[in-house]
Amino acid sequence: MKKIVITIAIALLCLAGTGCCQNAHQAAEEEMTNPVIETIMARRSVRHYTDQAVPRELLQQIAECGVNAPNAMNRQQWEVRIIDSQEYFDGLTQAIKDKSPFPMGDDDPKFRNCLRNASAAIAVACPDDESGMCLINVGLLCENVCLAAKSLGLGSVVMAGPVMMMNSIPEARPFLDKLNFSKGYKLRVIVGLGYPDEEPEAKPRDIGKIQFVE
């Protein structure tokens, strides 16, 4: 009887061990197919887009993902504007093209506008603050925007050049004013969006910059 009990106990331990291994293997497989991780690893900056318009429902959804980003004390010190007017893009491009220190369309036969040819864009503003947290919040918002766009089959590109021009040259002032940001809020970043017309390869990442603190 004693031998039978021992045999059963050993069998149960083996089954438990097998179950643990299976659970660990399953967890590893699930991690490899985690849609969030897949989206993060697959997202690239897209600079060539088709002329297909992005439905406003998708743009609204992406913007809402943006404002659900973490932010300091949940003060939500940001303002978001969705731009999908081709007339706006054309006018802004004309206003800043001759003033831009960056080549604009000279080396791009598909050039359409100064926002990397995107068919839509999300502009984000925030006030100045000594802590710098407002800018961090804007960065978190934009990351959500880029990942949401990727998950919905869209490309994205984060731009600073057009922002600098809009904040500095008189010709672009009407287009900045049209965004109608509140007093004290300054345009910080524009994220171009659209259906990608390219599939950029991933740039190398220096994993060595990641270190554990012992």
Q: Where are the domains of the chain?
A: 2-33, 45-194
26-35, 89-98, 142-151, 200-209: segment of lowest average pLDDT? 26-35
The overall average pLDDT reported for the chain is 87
Give residue-wise pLDDT tens across range 19-76. 544 554 555 455 568 999 999 999 999 999 999 999 999 999 999 999 999 999 999 9
Which three-class secondary structure state does DSSP give residue 211? coil
Angle at 172 between CA 166 and CA 176, to 5 degrees: 65
For domain 45-194, the question of CATH label 3.40.605.10 is answered with: no
What is the pLDDT at residue 205?
93
What is the pLDDT at residue 105?
67
Q: How confident is the model at residue 142 (pLDDT cuts 50, 70, 90)?
A: very high
> In angstroms, rounded to a whole number, what is the distance separating the alpha carbons of residues 88 and 85?
5
Strands 185-194 vs 155-159: parallel, antiparallel or unpaired: antiparallel
What is the pLDDT at residue 188?
98
Q: pTM for this one?
A: 0.83
Give residue-wise pLDDT tens across range 100-113. 777 676 677 778 89
